[in-house]
Structure 1
């Protein structure tokens, strides 16, 4: 077996992407233009069942503008998971609203409907689950709560390109949804985000907000941002979009091999009717998770990641005295192993061998 380091994630950028960027450079049209418009249209067709898609310069921007476009602002509360990247709660706070943290389900790491019910107040305006690691949140239950309480439902789909529930793709449930296009995601534009919506009103607000409040040049209708995606980034995204299903199938095959052969770690569960796209392959290790991660790196030359070691409610930026026991347990036990499409069979076998040795299988 090779002893070359296996990274936790590896962006795949090939000659197709380089040629696409070079074509934009040669055109001289670098800022938002026809490439961005084409990327939005293609993303809509490939991943969103033709729901409207609006490209922006980052995933966090997409969440922020989506919330603003949906009318979220000071005085509102938006229920979010604490077990996620801080961008989810940050985007709420940036609108002047308050993120309210709820617990997660133990099996799928996504927002718990029962916990959501327990934190609803008269100020609650919306629920924003995260489809964490590529596994969809329970949108049926969360939609029912939203409908019963007159709340809006949004989706943080940053990690879930192509995931689905009973054949319905994530990004088509909420009033808006955001997909990240950061380099380590299942597909990338180098940097960027895509916001989907089924509401013409929200779509128009998104397009105004990303472009200084303008639909027509110099006719600023509202106060907006410079949040545009460039043609350069869109050109990369368009190429990646043609490869997303092949890469997704490889991630799923890699995950299946790991789940079949890891013998002493709690492997990912998948809910009935769900298609998991394995942005991360996340297992639980109940004994010395951090020691296992260090040994994987130092002894076996295998990268891994802990997503996320500090829940949002305990970050200095929020610091809330919440009782979220499932979140707290997950933050101490999860470790994400390489699952990306660049892995060879030799890489997968090395990961299994190392993990089974470190977690004491057969000892």
Structure 2
């Protein structure tokens, strides 16, 4: 795929390649060096430089980033982790993977994000961490309660899978003091095809994550090439990011300014087109500070509207079914009124860099027709 071959605009999401990714990947393939190599380390250095941080540690996926971050923060059995139910299930699976339990909390309906008050209302003696989810790319500011969380020994681990490039005020996500986890999956703002990154808070955390992602081995791959043995100091996983994926990420990073501009422009186009529609509430991503990952609306009769748009081959989606209502997580179910209401209303519109203004006009026109067919009434609770 190249930038000149636009897939069907009705897809909900689609990777966007600028063209440099293919020769970068071919160069790695021709080198015969496919593991965690100097290409991966260059990707880490470039991401650290982009953010202005000391360390950026590449891992195999966004889920791997969350898993290793929780382990590095010392979260384990008997601990509770505060997390919004409105997130992808990977966030919850990472909590369970370290033996901790999720404490589901509600969200602010306008943003689909947690607030400092919702977090602090849930903190207990067993709380070891809080995972604010930066939904749609919007930063979550827990600065007002950071000192109290620190005093209680509660780690803040940002699930920034949607939020690479976004800002909290003037500071990039990843630089505001939290242990931050990015995803570079196929449809993210920056893609490695598959991959993730952890931004540690301290050198100790960085060393821990380096060992965790490499089966507990202390020496790096390049260091092991010149010694006859290596030392395993603890538990670890095979979570390294291969150089092939890193090469694609480097090519994407070179064009990230264009990515930011395009995604903001498309979101503004949607906002303007949606404004006249009765019964539609656009989820606020704070677009001036955000590199948007999604364009979401809340609508009445969501399931009927979804079906009507799908029947026209328009790739709407639902991000996400609330996790506290999932059978796998039933042991931790509790009543979350805002999440449950939003879970019945939320609709993700097609949003990717292949879209044109006529595509967006087509989607919005179809959405208006679907709303009329489904009942046409204003959403009194949106």
State yes or no: 1:291 paired with 2:304: yes
CA separation of 1:4/1:179 partners in 2, compared to 1, >3 Å: closer, same or farther? closer
Tell me the residue number matched to 1:329: 341
What is the TM-score of this pair, normalised by structure 2? 0.88
- Deviation (angstroms), 1:113: 2.3
Counterpart position of 1:205: 208
Which residue does the alignment assign to 2:132?
129
Unaligned runs of 5+ in 1: none
- The number of aligned residues is 356
Unaligned runs of 5+ in 2: 1-6, 225-229
Structure 1 partner of 2:283: 268
Q: Deviations over 1:139-193 (max 9, x none)?
A: 3245254145342211000000111111111122344111001101111101111
Indicate conservation of the 8 Å contact 1:70/1:175, yes or no: no
Distance in 2 (CA, whole Å) between partners of 1:353 and 1:66 is 43
Cα 1:141–1:327, aligned 2, differ >3 Å: closer, same or farther?
Answer: farther
TM-score normalized with structure 1 length = 0.93
Give yes or no for the alignment of 1:248 onto 2:260: yes
Q: Report the Cα offset of residue 270 of structure 1.
A: 4.2
User: How big is the shift at 1:362?
Assistant: 11
Residue equivalent to 1:180: 183
- Match status 1:346 vs 2:358: yes
CA contact (8 A) 1:127 1:146 kept: no
Q: Residue in 2 aligned with 1:314?
A: 325
Deviation of the 1:114 alpha carbon: 2.2
Q: Which runs of 4+ in 1 moved over 4 A?
A: none
Distance 2:177 2:327 in 1: 30
2:23 aligns with 19
2:167 paired residue among 147, 164, 167:
164
1:8, distance to aligned residue in structure 2 (A)? 0.8
The DSSP-based 3-state class of the residue aligned with 2:217 is: coil
Shift of 1:257: 1.2
Provide the aligned C-alpha RMSD in A. 2.0
- The residue that corresponds to 1:80 in the other structure is 83
Residue 277 of structure 1 corresponds to 291
Q: How does 1:41-56 map to 2 (within 5 A)?
A: 41-46=45-50, 48-56=51-59
Aligned 8 A contact 1:278 1:339 in 2? no
SS for the counterpart of 2:282 is coil
Cα shift readout 1:25-44 (whole Å, capped 9, x = no counterpart): 11111111111000001111
CA distance in 2, matches of 1:157, 1:192: 13
